[in-house]
Structure 1
Amino acid sequence: MLGLIFLKYVCDAFDEHRNKLAKELAEDGVPDDRIGDFVEDRDQYTNAHVFWVPEAARWSWIAANAKSQGVGKLLDEAMDTVMRENAALTGVLPKVFNRHEVDQQRVAELFDLITDARFGGTEDKLAQDVLGEVYEYVLGNFARAEGKKGGEFYTPRSVVRLIVEILEPNKGRVYDPACGSGGMLVQASKFIEAHGGRGHKSDIAVYGQELNERTWRLAKMNLAIHGIDGNLAARWGDTLADDMHPDLKADFVMANPPFNINDWARDESDVRWRYGVPPRNNANFAWLQHAVSKLAGRGTAAVVLANGSRSAPRVEAEIRQAMVEADLVACMVALPPQLFRTTQIPACLCFLTKDKSPGRETPGRPARQNPFHRRPRNGRDG
């Protein structure tokens, strides 16, 4: 469904830019017989960061030929063509519409339904903005419909926004080791847009990794929809077992890893376990230590954790104590109950930083009072 909506957006955005080019050329006095050549020039689109869509992959062409050639066949061919012509989408779009187990009548009905929707923009809102809202709406509803499984790829928008507003990722490298459908990386870019004059979204470089193949594809589409050139690794994979960004040092780490994993790829010799080897039956402190291992010298991190991590016994308590004594913990934020629709487990946010010195200049902030600076309390170090 989202792949089909994405193709419709790509085609509408292409048509939007094509019409704009044609109008500008006509106003410049270019003859009608030459306008056609100009608007079919691939460079006119790639230079404007618009996906290039060959004629046989355009929605209007598919609609005109669907009955004679089969809508499922044309959609799969269109997906393949768009991925081949746009490197950022390689291996991302679904080619599932012409399978023998897929009801072609249903595909045709769905195609007709989406045909009536226009993602073309107005002066106030471009096609990209419209689809971004549609995409988030569909993801949110799908997460609710999927129940617990939906939590694999969707973090409540309010939680994502809270993390981003506290970290203020204005500039530098942003990393999400369990990126799901890419919501935190997208919100980081939106933060810059919402605080105009304090940076441009090209000032941040986003990195991520995701275990689930389908969710990885959703994330790639999500970043593409929002015009973000992100590095989500060449494929999907387990971050704790196979870190695909081994040399990355990030200025901001944001993560909502799965809670309380009791069956994970535990390697006692892993250099990330600097503060203690996490227990086999719970990966919470593996995720925390992975986040620390990815921080640049002045980096900050926010990790969503099950509330029980604050008082977990035995081995986890020793790791927690070692991290506190290393002065890595900036603060903990308890989240309201039942905030996550996909799990009833109470959650909290753990903010980490390697530098609590006052007035430091960080990638995301001008030199000013560090919000994580430890201030004296009652005459003692707070």
Structure 2
Amino acid sequence: MARAANKPKKEISMEEALWKSADKLRGSVEPAEYKHVVLSLFFLKFASDKFETQRKAIAEKYGEKFVDNVAFYTKDNVFFLPEISRWSFVMENAKQDDIALKIDTALYTIEKANPALKGALPDNYYSRLHIDTAKLASLLDEIDKINTGDKENDIIGRVYEYFLSKFALAEGKGKGEFYTPKCIVNLIAEMIEPYDGILYDPCCGSGGMFVQSMKFVEAHHGNKKKVSIYGQEYTNTTYKLCKMNLAIRGISANLGEMA
């Protein structure tokens, strides 16, 4: 009897692979916490990749003696990262028992070195979760595969939006607290046509309204500098998500202080 042909394995997307890695944390972390665990690490990877690209450019243009000059980074909206905050350092120590503490230290140091990130990053978060080292290392390996420099395919936007929507669905009740479906914020942006002036969202969640509004301005060849963004968010963890989301996209906003 003829042997049945083997069905080709279905390829999963990068976003799905990341979600599966996050799901391995089940037992150590509640699904509602996945977004904070994953997106903070994703932010660290993104910020570090951008820093390394800028560092290389500075060395080539001005010489090695200027690579630790903070001003050469901030002028191009790049966060300066001390050595212990860099992704390469984290990955070198990914299998160590104290990796959670090293991640917390990396995030704390980034925030202290960059005033624009005040209140954006989790404080002593990974140490408090007591995640199994092997599970955390596996998640780090998946995030390490992401090419954050792939601007053409908007890797940053894809991962962030996928995870926010996925987390919202996983949480169910109260999911609108931090995520409003993309189609809705797109519609709002089209209606208000935010070419200039003040854009204010009193319940800004993770900042989707701001992101889509800036995309609208770009799509219509407008000037983003003509738009001033203001927002408020009551929930501290969601406030942090918003600040990270906007920082990843290079969007400046005044969100006030945490509640």
Write the mapping of 1:115-264 to structure 2, written as runs, cut at 5 A. Answer: 115-121=144-150, 124=152, 129-196=154-221, 199-236=222-259
Instruction: Quote the offset at 1:20 in angstroms.
Output: 2.7
Q: Whole-Å Cα distance in 2 between the matches of residues 140 and 220 of structure 1? A: 17
Q: Which residue identity does 1:142 align to in structure 2?
A: F
Equivalent-residue separation in structure 1 for 2:99 and 2:149 (angstroms):
22
Partner of 1:120: helix, strand, or coil? coil
| Identity value in percent | 45
Larger Rg: 1
> 5+ unaligned residues in a row in structure 1: which ranges?
26-34, 237-382
* Secondary structure in structure 2 of the residue aligned to 1:99: helix
Instruction: Please state how far the C-alpha of 1:69 moved relative to its aligned partner.
Output: 6.8
Residues 103 and 193 (structure 1 numbering): CA distance in 2 closer, same or farther, change over 3 Å? same
Q: Displacement, 1:39?
A: 2.1
TM-score (norm 2): 0.79
Distance in structure 2 (CA, Å) of the matches to 1:101 and 1:65: 17
Partner residue, 2:12 = none
Distance change (3 Å), C-alpha of 1:92 and 1:66:
same
Cα shift readout 1:111-168 (whole Å, capped 9, x = no counterpart): 222122221246x56xxx4312211111111112221321111111111111111110
Q: Distance in 2 between matches of 1:120 and 1:61?
A: 19
Say which of 132, 137, 142 aligns to 1:108.
137
- CA distance in 2: counterparts of 1:81 and 1:69, whole angstroms: 20
Hey, what's the Cα distance between the residues in 1 that align with 2:155 and 2:58?
21
Partner residue in 2 for 1:2: 39
| Residue pair 1:119, 1:130 contacting (<8 A) in 2 also | yes
Tell me the distance in 2 between the aligned counterparts of 1:225 and 1:169: 21
SS in 1 for 2:54: helix
Distance in 2 between residues matched to 1:147 and 1:88, nearest whole Å: 32
Name the CA distance, whole Å, in 2 between partners of 1:100 and 1:189.
35
**Paired position in structure 1 for 2:128:** 99
RMSD (Å) for aligned C-alpha atoms: 1.8
> 2 CA distance for matches of 1:205 and 1:83?
23
SS in 2 for 1:175: strand
Tell me if structure 2 keeps the 8 A contact 1:97–1:107: no
Counterpart amino acid of residue 204 in structure 1: V
Contact 1:98 1:104 in 2 (8 A): no
Q: Residue type matched to 1:131 in 2?
A: I
Question: Is the contact between residue 21 and residue 39 of structure 1 (CA under 8 Å) also seen in structure 2?
Answer: yes
Select the structure that is richer in helix.
Answer: 2
Q: In structure 2, how many angstroms separate the alpha carbons of the residues matched to 1:227 and 1:138?
A: 19
CA distance in 1, matches of 2:178, 2:96: 38
Corresponding residue of 2:73: 45
> 3-state SS of the aligned residue for 2:230?
strand
The whole-number CA distance in structure 1 between the counterparts of 2:105 and 2:223 is 36
Q: Does structure 1 retain, via aligned residues, the 8 Å contact 2:95–2:134?
A: no
Contact 1:16–1:121 (8 Å) recurs in 2: no
Higher relative contact order (Cα pairs below 8 Å, separated by 6+ residues): 2
Unmatched runs of 5 consecutive residues or more in structure 2: 1-37
The amino acid that maps onto 1:22 is: A
Contact 1:66-1:74 within 8 A present in 2 as well:
no
Specify the alignment match of 2:50 in structure 1: 13
Alpha-carbon contact 2:94-2:140 (below 8 Å) kept: no
Distance 2:150 2:73 in 1: 16
How many residue pairs match? The answer is: 221
The aligned runs of 1:255-274 (5 Å cut-off) are: none
Q: Deviations over 1:251-290 (max 9, x none)?
A: xxxxxxxxxxxxxxxxxxxxxxxxxxxxxxxxxxxxxxxx
CA distance in 2, matches of 1:85, 1:132: 25
Distance of 1:40 and 1:175 partners within structure 2: 37
Deviation at 1:104, TM superposition (A): 2.6
**What letter is aligned with 2:194?**
P
For 1:52-67, list aligned pairs within 5 A. 52-67=80-95
Spell out, residue by residue over 1:29-77, the C-alpha distance to the aligned partner (whole angstroms, 9 max, x if none). Answer: xxxxxx3222222111101110111111101122223445721111010
Matched residue, 1:244:
none
Counterpart CA distance in 2 for 1:133 and 1:181 is 15
Q: 1:98 to 1:162 in 2, by over 3 A?
A: same
User: Secondary structure of the equivalent of 2:125?
Assistant: coil
Q: Which structure shows the higher strand fraction?
A: 1
